[in-house]
């Protein structure tokens, strides 16, 4: 039997009278490549925001990695990352400072944060730019930092 990575059961999101996501039921298996396609305004981003714990479902339920997106939001955030087309970083801060800020948002213990930052910078071959301001980076360099943040 396959392990379920993402499970949605009648997942719904309403904004007043607008139903943005309407009773989505879906399982995505671990290791499966899955695409979410639809026209503008179809609810794709809202669905992803619920799975990433950035928006609370109006009804229904979802789990990511076995963790409930409402009851276990912190655990979900420990196991996922979201890379948006919009890079949310602070140009006036260094790569290290940006990663430290996001690490604190994810409640990474202070004692582990510095090592984790250098581990991630090394992963994307950016360790020598740790103390440079993000605003001086090329788009490709910013994307690498965005992936690990």
Q: What tokens were used for 117? A: 């930052």
CATH code that applies to domain 4-79: 3.40.50.300
**E strands, 1-149, where?**
4-15, 18-29, 59-64, 67-68
Q: Own/partner pairs for 36-39, CB < 8 Å, 24+ apart? A: none
pLDDT of residue 128: 96
Which pLDDT band holds residue 6 (cuts at 50, 70, 90)?
very high
pLDDT of residue 39: 94
pLDDT digits (tens, 9 = 90+) for 60-116: 999 999 999 999 998 998 888 777 777 778 999 999 999 999 888 878 888 999 999
> How many Å apart are CA 59 and CA 23, to the nearest integer?
8
């Amino acid at each position: 039997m396959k392990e379920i990575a993402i499970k949605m059961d009648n997942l719904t999101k309403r904004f007043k009278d607008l139903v943005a996501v309407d009773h989505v039921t879906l399982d995505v298996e671990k290791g499966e490549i899955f695409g979410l396609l639809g026209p503008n305004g179809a609810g794709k981003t809202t669905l992803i925001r619920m799975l990433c714990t950035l928006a609370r479902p109006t009804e229904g339920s979802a789990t990511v990695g076995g963790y409930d997106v409402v009851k276990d939001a912190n655990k979900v955030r420990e196991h996922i990352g979201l890379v948006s087309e919009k890079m949310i970083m602070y140009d006036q801060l260094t790569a290290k400072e940006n990663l430290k800020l996001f690490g604190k948002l994810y409640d990474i213990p202070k004692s582990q944060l510095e090592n984790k930052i250098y581990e991630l910078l090394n992963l994307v071959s950016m360790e020598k730019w740790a103390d440079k301001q993000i605003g001086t980076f090329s788009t490709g360099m910013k994307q690498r930092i965005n992936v690990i943040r």
